[in-house]
């Protein structure tokens, strides 16, 4: 069965996976590298800001790891889905379609909130039925 990607259907090209920050990850370094095998360890994430290239950067904080991604997360697939959907980080799992964080991301990229898009879709389809 082909799974529908309601995010891309509703005009969002995985915008929450573009330049995401993970400010506090209570996981091991090995775990980070299973999500992002090409991640680069840096002394400070400011280094990542200075470097004019995309990629995944991480540093060890006092208690937890911090991860910063410049550009799209490398796990975004060609259909704007997540290629590690089943095992993605907890923060990604919490980021829900239609929730406040989703809405503010969509508005940043000038696309309407998911619920508004859905409402308009339903209105359109009910017009077709009549």
Instruction: Indicate whether 56 belongs to the interface with ligand SF4 (CB under 6 A).
Output: no
> Which of these ranges, 25-33, 39-47, 56-64, 81-89, lies near ligand SF4 under the rule CB under 6 A?
81-89
Instruction: Indicate whether 40 belongs to the interface with ligand SF4 (CB under 6 A).
Output: no
Phi first, then psi: what are they for 98, rounded to 5°? 90, -5
Q: Which of 61, 51, 55 is nearest to 29 (CA)?
A: 61
**Looking at beta carbons only, is 62 or 93 nearer to ligand SF4?**
93
Distance of closest approach, residue 16 Cβ to ligand SF4, in angstroms:
3
What whole-number distance in Å separates Cα of residue 74 and Cα of residue 78? 11
Q: Which of 67, 41, 73, 71 is nearest to 54 (CA)?
A: 71
Chain positions 4 to 23 lying near ligand SF4, rule: CB under 6 A, are 7, 12, 14-17, 20
Sheet holding 65-70, edge to edge: 21-25, 65-70, 55-60, 40-41
Residues of this chain that interact with ligand SF4 (CB under 6 A) are 7, 12, 14-17, 20, 73, 75-76, 82, 84, 88-89, 92, 95, 97, 102, 105-106, 114
């Amino acid at each position: 069965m082909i799974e529908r990607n309601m995010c891309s259907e509703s005009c969002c090209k995985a915008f929450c996976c573009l330049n995401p920050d993970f400010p506090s990850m209570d996981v091991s370094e090995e775990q980070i590298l299973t999500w992002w095998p090409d991640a680069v360890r840096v002394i400070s994430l400011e280094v990542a800001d200075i470097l004019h290239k995309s990629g995944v950067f991480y540093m060890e904080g006092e208690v937890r790891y911090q991860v910063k991604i410049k550009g799209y997360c490398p796990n975004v697939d060609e259909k704007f889905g997540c290629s590690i959907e089943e095992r993605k980080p907890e923060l990604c799992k919490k980021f829900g379609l239609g929730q406040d964080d989703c809405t503010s991301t969509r508005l940043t990229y000038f696309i309407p909130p998911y619920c508004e898009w859905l409402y308009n879709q339903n209105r359109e389809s009910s017009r077709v039925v009549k």
